[in-house]
Amino acid sequence: LSICSRTVEPLEYYRRFLKENCRPDGRELGEFRTTTVNIGKCLRSITTADGSALVKLGNTTVICGVKAELAAPAVDSANKGYIVPNVELPSLCAERFRSGPPGEEAQAASQFIADSFLLPCLLSFYFSSQMIVKEDLCIASGKLAWVLYCDIICLDYDGNLLDASVFALLAALKNVQLPLVTINEETGLSEVNLKQKNPLIIRKHPVATSFAIFDE
């Protein structure tokens, strides 16, 4: 089946594969993509990250780097830290993406991860996995907390972006080691002990699974 058919008549293109009980990449309909993950020290190119992971779901390739910084908690969340996820879809990952500000799909992916996996909500039991509880990131209430900047970059886009992004994020967070930080009572300044590090507390291990209903 030609690429032209896929572009001009996408429904008919995929119907032909469904009739043959296979997918365009050769997999059977119920067959998962081949999955690989490299964590932390395996990614020598991300030496500045506090935690990192590279995930491949078939041809889709996503890399995640987590950078931890110290900041004052928000006034209305004195006992909580911050988690800032950001998904990037650069032009190199697929022809349809262009360089420049984040597009609608990248923004939607960032918001999905924030809402569904990291941020608490009124009905968190149903909608949020609570992978990390932000109270665990607080060092001193009202004074100091950790901020986790989670950069998720797609290197090759071939479907299942959210699944790969969540997998890479979880793997990178499990790889993070934070130094012990205390507040000096006399000076009021923070003191960082780089010799004593502890892993993040990962409360849940969510798995994202994408599916679609084709025709009826």
Identify the bridge partners of residue 216 per DSSP, sorted by sequence position. none
Q: Does some domain include residue 93? A: yes
| Distance from C-alpha of 123 to C-alpha of 127, rounded to nearest angstrom | 6
Say which residue the tokens 């190199």 belong to: 92
Identify the bridge partners of residue 37 per DSSP, sorted by sequence position. 55
User: DSSP string of 116-128?
Assistant: IIIS--TTHHHH-
* Domain encompassing residue 104: 32-199
How many residues are listed for the chain in this entry?
A: 216
Asked if 159 and 83 touch (Cβ cutoff 8 Å), the reply is no
Regarding whether 153 and 56 lie in a shared domain, the answer is yes
Q: What is the pTM of this model?
A: 0.85
68-111 per-position pLDDT tens digit: 999 999 988 899 999 999 999 999 999 989 988 889 999 999 99
Largest Cα–Cα distance of the chain, in whole Å? 74
User: DSSP string of 15-52?
Assistant: HHHHHTTB-TTS-BTTPPPPEEEEEGGG-TT-TT-SEE
Identify the bridge partners of residue 52 per DSSP, sorted by sequence position. 65
Give the Cβ contact number of residue 204 at 10 Å. Answer: 12
| Distance from C-alpha of 86 to C-alpha of 102, rounded to nearest angstrom | 10
Regarding whether 79 and 16 lie in a shared domain, the answer is no
Q: What is the CATH number of the domain that holds 88?
A: 3.30.230.70
Regarding whether 92 and 21 lie in a shared domain, the answer is no
Q: Does some domain include residue 216? A: no
Give the Cβ contact number of residue 43 at 10 Å. Answer: 18
Q: Does some domain include residue 146? A: yes
- Please give the chain's pLDDT, 216 residues, in tens: 455 566 778 888 888 888 888 988 888 888 888 999 998 765 655 778 899 999 999 999 999 999 999 999 998 889 999 999 999 999 999 998 998 888 999 999 999 888 876 655 444 444 567 788 889 999 999 999 999 999 999 999 998 999 999 999 999 999 999 999 988 888 888 888 988 999 999 988 888 888 878 776
| Distance from C-alpha of 114 to C-alpha of 106, rounded to nearest angstrom | 12
Total domain count, the chain: 2
Regarding whether 24 and 118 lie in a shared domain, the answer is no
